[in-house]
């Protein structure tokens, strides 16, 4: 340890006292973060006790991962240690998020047994910026609701459609869900299916139901079909036809079957599940049993 306030020290002496290598100290000196206080008659760089304290600070900052530019600014008084530390924390946070995305992609590749091409696509989708992810979702929403949400501003709420937003610190499961969701909502066939389902639901409003209420027909369907299931009524039983009359009245059963087939599509159910995962929410009930019962009953009891 060097504790002489008046003595001068060579690079070799600094190295022995601090445990750093001569090469490292010389490099920092060459880079201007540890300038010598003077030189010997033979041209050797010499340092004093203040240089030793400066060297310890440089070592600490470097061990914390700061680059020499930031070290130089701290030593020159252009930035405080606190400011540099805060900036470095932000950089580390970004690096951690990136590593989490990489881990999630690799986990998905391992689980799926993906090809190199699939891995490239997943990595590209996962690493999209928040703004780029937002544009993909907004483009999807704009296409499936075009012209409908202007006439019915409450339709997205009634259909429980919330834009999927990957958080800044996602779990591997959320990244995995986002990758699958991004692939799904960019599929033209899926967009057409979703548009058809939205159109059906936009038209499916009771004449006395004011704007801003829930889907009365779907609520009634869940209620009546659920009761039929509890009573053990088979979809092809005569009693099922009575349930359908109570639900549909004189409505065109073929049209209703078409609408329900679209609304109960497995890909739409998967979309809702993935959106909930990405947003960190509990998945909404799908009432798959009730929908399946009514679809089966409609097929067993078509219009006469």
What is the percentage of the chain residues whose pLDDT exceeds 70? 84
Hey, is 46 helix, strand or coil?
A: strand
Nearest Cα neighbor of 72 from 82, 61, 64 is 61
* Positive or negative torsion for Cα 247, 253, 259, 262: positive
Whole-angstrom distance, CA of residue 286 vs CA of residue 304: 30
Nearest Cα neighbor of 75 from 45, 38, 26, 34 is 34
CATH 1.10.1660.10 intervals, the chain: 11-76
Cα 4–chain centre separation: 57
pLDDT attached to residue 153: 62
What average pLDDT does this structure show over 269-294?
A: 82
* Tens-place pLDDT, residues 230-253: 999 999 999 999 888 888 887 788
Report the chain's C-alpha Rg in angstroms. Answer: 33
Q: Is the Cβ–Cβ distance between 187 and 288 less than 8 Å? A: no
Residue 162: pLDDT band (50, 70, 90) is low
User: Two tokens at 6?
Assistant: 């008046």
Residue 143 reports pLDDT greater than 70: yes
Residue 212 reports pLDDT greater than 50: no
For domain 11-76, which CATH number applies: 1.10.340.30, 1.10.1660.10, 3.40.50.800, 1.10.3720.10?
1.10.1660.10
**Following DSSP, what letter does each residue of 120-156 receive, concatenated?**
HHHHHHHT--HHHHHHHHHHHHHHHHTTHHHH-TTHH
pLDDT attached to residue 304: 58
Whole-angstrom distance, CA of residue 75 vs CA of residue 71: 6
């Amino acid at each position: 340890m060097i504790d002489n306030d008046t003595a001068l020290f060579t690079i070799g002496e600094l190295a022995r006292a601090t445990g750093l290598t001569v090469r490292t100290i010389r490099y920092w000196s060459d880079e201007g973060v540890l300038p010598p206080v003077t030189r010997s008659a033979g041209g050797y760089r010499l340092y004093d006790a203040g240089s030793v304290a400066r060297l310890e600070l440089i070592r600490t900052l470097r061990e914390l991962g700061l680059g020499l530019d930031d070290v130089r600014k701290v030593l020159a008084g252009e930035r405080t240690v606190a400011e540099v530390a805060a900036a470095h924390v932000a950089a580390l946070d970004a690096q951690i998020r990136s590593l989490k995305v990489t881990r999630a992609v690799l986990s998905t590749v391992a689980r799926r047994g993906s090809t190199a091409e699939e891995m490239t696509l997943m990595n590209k989708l996962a690493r999209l910026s928040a703004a780029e992810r937002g544009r993909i979702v907004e483009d999807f929403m704009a296409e499936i609701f075009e012209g409908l949400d202007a006439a019915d501003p409450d339709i997205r709420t009634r259909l429980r459609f919330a834009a999927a937003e990957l958080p800044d610190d996602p779990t591997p499961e959320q990244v995995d869900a986002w990758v699958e969701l991004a692939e799904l909502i960019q599929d033209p066939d899926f967009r057409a299916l979703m548009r058809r389902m939205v159109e059906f639901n936009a038209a499916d409003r009771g004449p006395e139901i004011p704007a801003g209420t829930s889907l009365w027909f779907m609520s009634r369907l869940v209620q009546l079909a659920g009761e039929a299931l509890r009573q053990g009524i088979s979809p092809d039983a005569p009693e099922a036809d009575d349930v359908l009359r109570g639900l549909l009245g004189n409505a065109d059963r073929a049209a209703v079957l078409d609408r329900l087939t679209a609304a109960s599509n497995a890909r739409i159910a998967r979309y809702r599940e993935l959106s909930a995962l990405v947003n960190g929410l509990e998945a909404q009930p799908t009432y798959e049993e009730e929908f399946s019962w009514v679809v089966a009953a409609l097929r067993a009891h078509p219009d006469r």
